[in-house]
Structure 1
Amino acid sequence: MSEKFYKTSSLEMFEKSEQGSSDISEILGGAIAVKKMFVDNAGSFHNLIHDMNFPNVSLNAYLSDIMDRSFATLKNYQSTSESLKDLSEKFYKTSSLEMFEKSEQGSSDISEILGGAIARFARFDDPSKALFEALKSDNIKKGLKEFKIADVTKDMFNPKSKEFKDIDIYDFTHYLLMVNREPNENNPTLKRLIEAVKDMQKRERERE
């Protein structure tokens, strides 16, 4: 996808967000942060989509939805912890699994979580730089290894282990939820949300 696509999509989202809002200043702040973050990183998203180190992430199928979800997260929540708490309560355990099994909701669900994960960067001091660093191929590999999501080679003693080239959109979402955090961070809300992502991944594989 081209840089023009990202600029157009972000600007359209920005313009739509201004209509009918009772709190224009708050909406503008969130829209500007998201718009700038995505536009500044158009090249990074393009490179990641075509990065053969991660051929199964298929990020291009989710980008438009992710931008909308990122903006909605900033609009509706005052903090990252609030948005993650709501996401974990919505998707954790049986209710989300039943919904996921009975419908084609999977893509929308993971887009919502991924949008929430990316929205977190808009609250950083330098959102564009933070997201840029998170999307760099070498940093993704480093994070995947650090958070025990994947590694250069499979662990012969762990049948569930995977190589970098095997990760999918669910693993990438897991990575984005964890990046710039301590690997052993004690955060029950985050832990539940990551478990929900793993459950979605499992159900998706069962459907294939």
Structure 2
Amino acid sequence: MMYYTRIILNPRHLKVKEDRQNAYLQHRRIESLFPEHKRSTADVLFRWEQQTVIVQSTVEPRFDLLPQNYTSDTKTKPPLDLGQALKPEQWMEFRLLADTSSITKDTRQRKPRDAEKLPDWLKSRLEGAAKVDEYCAIQRGPHIPVHRHQQQWTLKPTSFSGYLQVINPEQLAQTIAAGFGRSRAYGCGLMQIAPTRSNG
């Protein structure tokens, strides 16, 4: 079962302004909503946009742990069994912001994946679960700054959007729950899906 949460931020709040500038602070803020769980054990993924945060988790978040007036609105939908909700051959619209970088073996440094390899990167992660429409839109960005202790770096994720057709609902649900690519602790890897109008 999966919880889907939308948080509308208060742009005037000092902590919101600070968190917006650092994905590590965003990670800490989202993790604070699950005080009895680590991010990984609650399967928490999030996408931090300008004034909105989308959160996916297997545990219901606690908004009372946020600073006072940090949000202007919060809403968590009833838990959903995504594997049961999806149907084979169903078409879904999707959005995904993913860190598609690879790690070099010698230096352990991040290396951007070649643009022409990105469609295959996405298809390989959905293999057996869903088929991506060939007209999927792919673009670089936005850049995400991370400041953790004395370290600083910038994530350069890839934005995907388009349509996919469900092949195996349970497998697709598990893939979405696990997330895509690297840097899932810093706002990458969450795939948002919604039925297309053509499904009726």
Q: TM-score, normalization: structure 2?
A: 0.31
Decide which structure has greater strand share: 2
Decide which structure has greater helix share: 1
